[in-house]
Amino acid sequence: MNPAVRAAAATRATRTARAPNTYSSRRKRVTVRMRKLGRTGIDVSAYCLGTMVFGKLGNPDHDDCVRMIHRALGAGVNFVDTADVYGYSDTEEIVGKALEGRRDEVALATKFNGPMREGPNRGGSSRHWIIQAVEGSLKRLRTDYIDLYQIHHPDPHTDIEETLSALTDLVRAGKVRAIGSSNLPASDITEAQWGSRQRGLHRPRTEQPTYSILNRGIEREVLPTCRRYGLGVLVWSPLAMGLLTGR
């Protein structure tokens, strides 16, 4: 090896070893950069495994999906995100199966709000639905707590205080560790922060918007708002639904 190349490689290795926010997987000699999840104090890998295509609406092979999740965990990823509506609940079942015996290794995030089945009060962000939704997710995920429980979409028909009040009760009951949101405009993010402070409720700690080099709209208002309130940002579809993979 060229001495200059060897020296550069050694320097990179030293910097990695000394980095205070890295994590070495117990199962393989890999180093993954870690970050704090907003201001929750929870350490998560810089990469979060999204699971939307696991299950009936993507890959219906449960064993194959479980293998992919295990491969991500073996590579040092400790952050997994899902939702109750993914795969008509099939996805949460897969994630629960994959994390059996390894639950404490993972920061587990899921979402509520989407319609789960036909009929009234089968979705949304009301207290009536949230209490039902969390119990369903806990059962499918085979766990007694969720690290990050997120409002999946805006709900113009429900006061944000109603939603935050129900979520606060779940945190106090130990069923949820932290709460967040997804796909909210900057105005709704701000309203949630102010509403929680005025009512003494737990406030959302994260926001999950779509973001890629082809869709940078959140740079105008959402990202500055998240920065103002110290929210962690989990972006979905960074490869623009596969368009940026080159395939």
Going along the chain from its start, the domains and CATH numbers come out as 24-242 (3.20.20.100)
Rounded Cα gap, residues 53 and 86, in angstroms: 8
Please say if the pLDDT value at position 17 is more than 70.
no
In the residue annotation, 47 being an active-site residue is answered as no
pLDDT band at 31 (very low <50, low <70, confident <90, very high): confident
Give pLDDT tens digits for 215-236: 999 999 999 999 999 999 999 9
End-to-end CA distance of the chain: 34
Please say if the pLDDT value at position 239 is more than 60.
yes
Query: In this structure, is the dihedral angle defined by the CA atoms of residues 38, 48, 243 and 155, taken in order, positive or negative?
Result: negative
The position carrying tokens 């997710």 is: 137
Which segments within 93-235 are labelled E, that is strand? Answer: 107-112, 146-151, 176-182, 206-208, 232-233
Report the pLDDT value the prediction gives residue 247, as an integer from 0 to 100: 73
Please say if the pLDDT value at position 172 is more than 80.
yes
Q: What is the pTM of this model?
A: 0.88
Rounded Cα gap, residues 105 and 99, in angstroms: 9
Report the pLDDT value the prediction gives residue 156, as an integer from 0 to 100: 96
Give pLDDT tens digits for 66-114: 999 999 999 999 999 999 999 999 999 999 999 999 999 999 999 999 9
Angle value at C-alpha 83, between 79 and 85, nearest 5 degrees: 160
Give pLDDT tens digits for 112-161: 999 998 888 899 999 999 999 999 999 999 999 999 999 999 999 999 99
Report the pLDDT value the prediction gives residue 118, as an integer from 0 to 100: 82
Q: Which two tokens stand for residue 133?
A: 């939704």
Catalytic hit among 47, 86, 211, 229: 86
Please say if the pLDDT value at position 13 is more than 70.
no
Residues ≥6 apart with Cβ < 8 Å to 69: 49, 51, 54, 80, 94, 95, 98, 99
Give pLDDT tens digits for 32-68: 899 999 999 999 999 999 999 999 999 999 999 999 9
Rounded Cα gap, residues 10 and 166, in angstroms: 52
Q: Which two tokens stand for residue 132?
A: 């039902």
* 152 CB neighbour count, 10 Å cutoff: 21
- Which amino acid is residue 203, in one-letter code? R
The position carrying tokens 């579809």 is: 237
Question: Across the chain, how many H-helices and E-strands are there?
Answer: 7, 10
**Mean pLDDT score of the chain:** 90
The residues pairing with 212 across neighbouring beta strands, listed in sequence order, are: 215
Report the pLDDT value the prediction gives residue 21, as an integer from 0 to 100: 62
